[in-house]
Amino acid sequence: MEVTFKLNGETVTCPVTTKSTLLRLLRDELKMTGTKNGCEHGDCGACSVIVDGVLEKSCIFPARNLDGKEVLTIEGVSNADGTPSDLQQAFLDAGATQCGYCTPGMIMAGEALLLMNNNPTRQDIREAISENLCRCTGYQQIVDAIQATAKSRLNGGAK
């Protein structure tokens, strides 16, 4: 079977099987490796993307369900000129990324939260990233980065 969906604003059509996942489609077929494979069991959040405005773990999202959907991955988050988005820059500024393996998923979790809540509390942010695991930073800096971006956007910053 084939699915047609929007990926970071561009229409793509791909053959899929009943066993294909969005993660495998992105990484193996479309060669978009920004989305990371951590556990492939829905437990770590490294593979997080946004589908129709909602945070999803792409490793457990059936590719056959993609038809007509809009998918946003980490590749679609940067500014048009390739520079880091405000949230990506905030991660850099806050020291919220070390090995970087969790970072794409964390960024997508942050973007998904800010789509729904433009003024989150630290507790809101902690809950929003609660299914995203980071071995390196202790989470404090990640919460700092998302909160700083929310404040910046409320004050008329990027996005």
Residue 112 touching ligand FES (CB under 6 A): no
Exposure b/e, 48-58, CB count within 10 A at least 16 = b: bbbbeeebbbb
Contact pick of 6, 30, 32, 42 for ligand FES (by CB under 6 A):
42
Beta carbon of residue 23, minimum distance to ligand FES (angstroms, whole number): 6
Residue 101 touching ligand FES (CB under 6 A): yes
Write the interaction track for ligand FES spanning residues 115-154; mark x where CB under 6 A is met and - where it is not.
Answer: -------------------xxxx-----------------
Question: Strand 70-72 vs strand 2-7: parallel, antiparallel, or unpaired?
Answer: parallel
Report the distance separating Cα 96 and Cα 140, nearest Å. 8
Residue 25 touching ligand FES (CB under 6 A): no
Angle at which helices 86-94 and 103-116 cross, to 10°: 120
Residue 97 touching ligand FES (CB under 6 A): yes
